[in-house]
Amino acid sequence: MTEVVLFHHAHGLTSGVREFARELEGAGHTVHLPDLYEGRVFDSLAEGAAYAQETGFGVITERGRAAAEDLPGEVVYAGFSLGVLPAQMLAQTRPGAKGALLFHACVPVSEFGGEWPRGLPVQVHGMEADEFFAGEGDLEAARALARTADDAEVFLYPGDRHLFADGSLPSYDREAAGLLTERVLKFLDRVG
């Protein structure tokens, strides 16, 4: 099966992120869960985002790179929101990546060196009215990626919730999260 490196969002490594990893493992995949916050978990998105900003997004991304250093290169990089930064950076720059799964966020490809790697499959998932995904440029970045990448899918879900796939948060949407998981499992089976 497929090996996945899954990076958490601004709340930290929540029980919901861990549960998502267990679902992937239950389907036969191996999932690595680096802790970019060094054990910190925040109840509110605002507190977690403040910690990330104080720490520095460059530092967070570097922690992700360091966490993947001793892992095989032939993995799928996945990230929830803030975790998209190291996931997308590694997918674009580390040789051997099998794919990328970007949940609730996407940054312009130019952020990490220009072009999306030829033939590298990617999925981007977000809600169509999410104030962060749709309102801060992530949706536009995802659509631009889909226009230039050989194998890209952008999935929009009805609603306005950010982090809708984390079952431990109030923003969780069971129906959308179930569909996201189904699509992710098909992706992992295909690229594995």
Q: Name all domains of the chain by residue range, CATH numbers in brackets.
A: 3-191 (3.40.50.1820)
pLDDT at 73: 86
- Ranges of residues in the chain with a pLDDT under 50 are none
Q: Give the strand order in the sheet containing 99-103.
A: 30-32, 3-7, 76-80, 99-103, 122-127, 152-157
Interhelix angle for 57-68 vs 45-55, to 10°? 80
pLDDT, one tens digit per residue, over 102-115 is 999 999 999 998 78
Rounded Cα distance between 85 and 57, Å, is: 8
pLDDT, one tens digit per residue, over 13-44 is 999 999 999 999 999 999 999 999 999 999 99
Q: Which of 99, 92, 90 is nearest to 71 (CA)?
A: 90
Q: Which of 138, 28, 128 is nearest to 79 (CA)?
A: 138
